[in-house]
Amino acid sequence: MRQDNDSQAGPMAELWVNPDLRPAADVLAEADIRLADIEDAQARLARFAPLLTRLFPELRAADGQIESALLPVPAQNAGPLLALPPARTDWGRLLVKADHDLPVAGSIKARGGIYEVLAYTERLALQHGLIAPGGDYAALADAPARRVFARHTVSVGSTGNLAMSIGIMAASLGFRATVHMSAEARQWKKDKLRAHGVDVIEHAGDYAAAVHTGRLAAENDPQAHFVDDERSLTLFLGYGVAALRLREQLAAQGIAVDVRHPLFVYLPCGVGGAPAGIAFGLKQVFGDAAHCWFVEPTAAACFLTRMRHPDRPGISVYDAGMDNVTEADGLAVPVASELAYAQMRHLLSGVATAADATLFADLAALHDMQGLQVEPSAAAALSGPRMLLSHAVGEAYLREHAPGDSLARATHIVWSTGGRFVPPEEFQAFLARGRAAVPARA
């Protein structure tokens, strides 16, 4: 049996079902963000593809598109990964959306973060006449454009991965790049950014404090663009493009998604921007056939805390008795994004939480069974389907939303959000810890 909690005292892992879930069509009819906004973001990324290919030769094979694979998990691995009894085959199939392997930034932050830097770049480039609308964006890697960008700063506050995405992209274009890192940020991430020429400012405080400081610093500088992870609609739309890409990937694999073939997606959640952008896009594309679940560490369940308290904007995990101490650095966020919360309030199916010991056990299992290198934050996703399929509240949700034999035709996607650039020594230490956490699996 697996352990659902660390030896230290702390909140127990749980599955929470959203009592305010409403039909997607009703909610989206009132939403101030439209599918057309996400399609517009997709078109902007396509305009930049030739430039991205020029800046990052590893994107050549994908024609400048930053995208990850959708990997099927064989049934003989899926059952043990989800801790289901061998006889249980009524739950559909499992796939991994491999954002841990996204090129350039190595995490899900490549989607929103790089998109926001490109949107800012396009605005500046048009303003300064560096490109004409519909012109050749590859020219933005040339000296005249770089001279303009060098007079501007792009900055961000982050626990690590958003800084990697923003810092690497901005520095590659020739911007000055400043990142404000919270206490959780790993040394190797700071080292990698400095090697790219990024100005790394280290803060002793948490993520919310790092964002706040960065925002203030940029406000006083007209030549600076601050990527606001708590408030940015641009980031949100960049993340949302993942839904359009996933629709294509599912179709290419012959996987139907409709009310008779439900789609369950499990997304690790920090401040909420990335998972909410993707979930919002999926609800736009698939409506009520898509069931979106967030997964958070037991110590840093800020989105769950906000969802539980609809009348308390700004409520923190500290208010709810959690300490925000987790090895899942990408998820160590004390307060949820209000933008993400507002969009998810009636569209999110629910939230699962996972203890750190479970994250490490799943990190090791994903490596040993599937050959994947994911970071602890990404491994959180697996707790979603495991809890939905085995806890009483999950079973009640499924009886209502996937009645009859539709569950047997379901597709479950665990969104694996980061890991590509974790240094080998660090990954080996994660693995050792994960294998020790569940001896039966090692």
Ligand X SMILES: *Cc1c(COP(=O)(O)O)cnc(C)c1O
Site membership for ligand X, residue 316 (CB under 6 A) = no
The correct pick among 64, 167, 297, 330 for binding ligand X (CB under 6 A) is: 330
* Binding of residue 92 to ligand X (CB under 6 A): no
Q: Which is nearer to ligand X, 122 or 329 (CB)?
A: 329
Q: Could you tell me the smallest distance in angstroms from the CB atom of residue 265 to ligand X?
A: 13
Q: Is 273 in the site for ligand X (CB under 6 A)?
A: yes
**Site for ligand X, residues 164 to 183, rule: CB under 6 A:** none
Given the complex with ligand X, which of 152 and 189 has the nearer CB atom? 189
Find the shortest distance in angstroms from Cβ 251 to ligand X. 26
Rounded Cα–Cα distance for residues 333 and 272 (Å): 9
Q: How far apart (Å, rounded) are the C-alpha atoms in residues 83 and 386? A: 7
383 contacts ligand X (rule: CB under 6 A) = no
The CA distances from residue 246 to 69, 282, 350, 363, 377, in Å, are 9, 9, 21, 23, 21
Could you tell me the two tokens for 4? Answer: 């659902």
Q: Is 377 in the site for ligand X (CB under 6 A)?
A: yes
- SS3 of 139, please? helix
Rounded to a whole number of angstroms, the minimum distance from the CB of residue 301 to ligand X is 12
**Strand 15-17 relative to strand 350-354, pairing:** antiparallel
Residue 358 touches ligand X, criterion: CB under 6 A: no
373 touches ligand X by CB under 6 A? no
Q: Give the one residue of 262, 272, 281, 334 binding ligand X; rule: CB under 6 A.
A: 272
Of the candidates 247, 415, 412, 388, the one whose C-alpha atom is nearest the C-alpha of residue 330 is 415
Instruction: Compute the radius of gyration of the chain from its Cα atoms.
Output: 21
- Does 269 interact with ligand X (rule: CB under 6 A)? yes
* Alpha-carbon span 157 to 333, nearest angstrom: 12
161: contact with ligand X by CB under 6 A: yes
Q: In this chain, which stretch among 64-72, 146-154, 248-256, 370-378 interacts with ligand X, using CB under 6 A?
A: 370-378
Among 275, 334, 385, 394, binds ligand X (CB under 6 A): 275
Binds ligand X (CB under 6 A): choice among 271, 278, 295, 317: 271
By CB under 6 A, residue 375 contacts ligand X: yes
* Cβ distance to ligand X smaller for residue 174 or 270: 270
Which residues 6+ apart lie within 8 Å of 180 measured at CB?
155, 156, 157, 158, 163, 201, 203, 210, 211, 213, 214, 217
DSSP of 158-219, one letter per residue?
A: ESSHHHHHHHHHHHHHT-EEEEEE-TT--HHHHHHHHHTT-EEEE-SS-HHHHHHHHHHHHH
Please give the DSSP secondary-structure letter assigned to residue 374: -
Residue 334 interacts with ligand X (CB under 6 A): yes or no: no
**179, 158 in Cβ contact below 8 A?**
yes
- 305 binding ligand X? (CB under 6 A): no
Measure the CA–CA gap between 64 and 82, rounded to whole angstroms: 35
Note whether 107 binds ligand X by CB under 6 A. Answer: yes
Which of 113, 167, 268, 350 lies at the binding interface for ligand X (CB under 6 A)? 268
When binding is defined by CB under 6 A, the residue of 53, 116, 417, 433 that contacts ligand X is 417
Nearest-angstrom CA–CA distance, 204 and 197: 22
Residues that bind ligand X (CB under 6 A): 107-109, 161, 268-275, 330-331, 333, 375, 377-378, 417-418
